[in-house]
Amino acid sequence: MDDDTAIVAAVIAQRLGLKGNPVHAMQAARDKHQQRELLAKAGVPIPRFMLRKLSEDPSEIARTVTYPCVMKPLRLSASRGVMRADNPQGFMKAQNRLRTIVREPEATFLIEEFIPGYEVALEGLVINRRLHVLAIFDKPDPLDGPFFEETIYITPSSVPGGLQSAITQCAERAVRALGISEGPVHAELRYNENGPWLIELAARPIGGRCSAVLRFGDQKVSLEEIILRHALGMALPALQRERLAAGVMMIPIPGAGALQEVRGVDEAKRVPLVEDVQITAHPGERLVPFPEGSRYPGFIFARGETPSAVEAALRAAHRKLTFTLLPPPPPTSSVAPTRP
């Protein structure tokens, strides 16, 4: 159910002779640079990229980069450490900031061309090397940086049918390029006048509690049940998503500090079309904004007749919430006190 255990599962399946994914495919899905190399070799549309070390002089690297660009750590998730730079000065600041996030002096990081356009997410299940699309999500909030905190996912997508087919084909090519043969995949793609671009592909389902937004068939089967049934070789229900539009908001991190309380949860739950409001951060928990942070304080779920109505309900519910934070303590000095 996450990036690291997908690799462990592949190793166990290989040792026991069970049906599963090749270990190299799971490793490629986990490592952003390895993934990029395989996708480029297969001709999948991806941003231009280069690999550099955090220990290198930022001013030297900055002279070689085409702007705007995006820098990424290779193995962090949930957009942690992902930053956009629009010029050499911004690049140098971002690289120094990334050093404090990764905390491995000799670690490498990815520098990518920034791809403008509208972003979508694709949820799929690979069965015997064939990708079955379970949902395509719109992301109505622009993700143009400087950081890339995600907020709202809405399905069904409003993208025209022909373009949805092109997005699906792009994801299928990526699945084949990495060698994924079984199980869930979650892909992030952008599209513009040049068509779809594969931004990321993970060999796991959608993260956090967002999977609750997906229900399938008349019995409203959960995504987790479908994944488990497939893994156990059981009969699968219909992979057609329910008729209603559905959406989830990953509640934006309201600021830096220790959470004291959240007000307005009951009022948010009473907003029409809202199914649930889940505050997953607990009192006293330290909230850290992006790009250093990666944990959302909670989730809002809604269902309705149209995607636009669902989106409006999510935003209305969010406006009911008030977060009270204790500010973080001032940084302590690393300079030793002077002796009298």
**pLDDT tens digits along 182-210:** 999 999 999 999 999 999 999 999 987 99
Q: Are 84 and 70 in contact (CB under 8 A)?
A: yes
Q: For residue 178, what is the domain's CATH number?
A: 3.30.470.20
Domain annotation covers residue 339: no
Domain annotation covers residue 181: yes
For residues 315 and 195, membership in a common domain is answered with no
**Domain endpoint, select from 113, 138, 153:** 113
Domain annotation covers residue 300: yes
Q: Are 51 and 36 in contact (CB under 8 A)?
A: no
Q: What is the pLDDT of residues 260-288, one digit of tens each?
A: 999 999 999 999 999 999 999 999 999 99
For residues 167 and 24, membership in a common domain is answered with yes
**Residue range 318-332: average pLDDT?**
87
pLDDT of amino acid 217: 87
Split into its structural domains, the chain has a count of 3
For residues 24 and 164, membership in a common domain is answered with yes
Domain annotation covers residue 338: no
Q: Are 201 and 175 in contact (CB under 8 A)?
A: yes
For residues 223 and 147, membership in a common domain is answered with yes
Model confidence at 335: pLDDT above 80: no
For residues 196 and 81, membership in a common domain is answered with no
For residues 24 and 130, membership in a common domain is answered with yes
For residues 185 and 255, membership in a common domain is answered with no
Burial class (CB in 10 A: 0-12, 13-18, 19+), 333: exposed
Residue (of 236, 267, 283, 207) closest to 2 by Cα position: 207
Model confidence at 157: pLDDT above 70: yes
Q: Pick 20 or 122 by higher pLDDT.
A: 122
Percent over 90 (pLDDT), the chain? 86
**Residue range 163-189: average pLDDT?**
97
Domain annotation covers residue 145: yes
For residues 296 and 306, membership in a common domain is answered with yes
For residues 151 and 256, membership in a common domain is answered with no
- Mapped onto helix, strand or coil, the DSSP state of residue 274 is strand
Domain annotation covers residue 135: yes
For residues 24 and 149, membership in a common domain is answered with yes
**207 Cβ neighbours under 8 A, 6+ residues apart:** 2, 77, 78, 186
Reduced to 3 DSSP states, what percent helix, strand and coil does the chain have, rounded to the nearest 5? 30, 30, 40
Q: What is the pLDDT of residues 75-118, one digit of tens each?
A: 877 788 999 999 999 999 999 999 999 988 789 999 999 999 99
Model confidence at 156: pLDDT above 50: yes
pLDDT of amino acid 97: 95
List, as one string, the DSSP characters of 7-74.
Answer: HHHHHHHHHHT-S---HHHHHHHH-HHHHHHHHHHTT-----EEEEETTS-HHHHHTT--SSEEEEES
Model confidence at 333: pLDDT above 80: no
pLDDT of amino acid 46: 98
Q: For residue 107, what is the domain's CATH number?
A: 3.30.1490.20
Q: Are 23 and 7 in contact (CB under 8 A)?
A: yes
For residues 171 and 262, membership in a common domain is answered with no
**Domain endpoint, select from 62, 89, 113:** 113
Q: Return mean pLDDT, the chain.
A: 93
pLDDT of amino acid 332: 59
pLDDT of amino acid 337: 47
Confidence class of residue 240 from pLDDT cuts 50, 70 and 90? Answer: very high
**Domain endpoint, select from 204, 222, 242:** 242
pLDDT of amino acid 241: 94
Domain annotation covers residue 175: yes
Domain range for 58: 3-19+30-113
Confidence class of residue 331 from pLDDT cuts 50, 70 and 90? Answer: low
For residues 51 and 191, membership in a common domain is answered with no
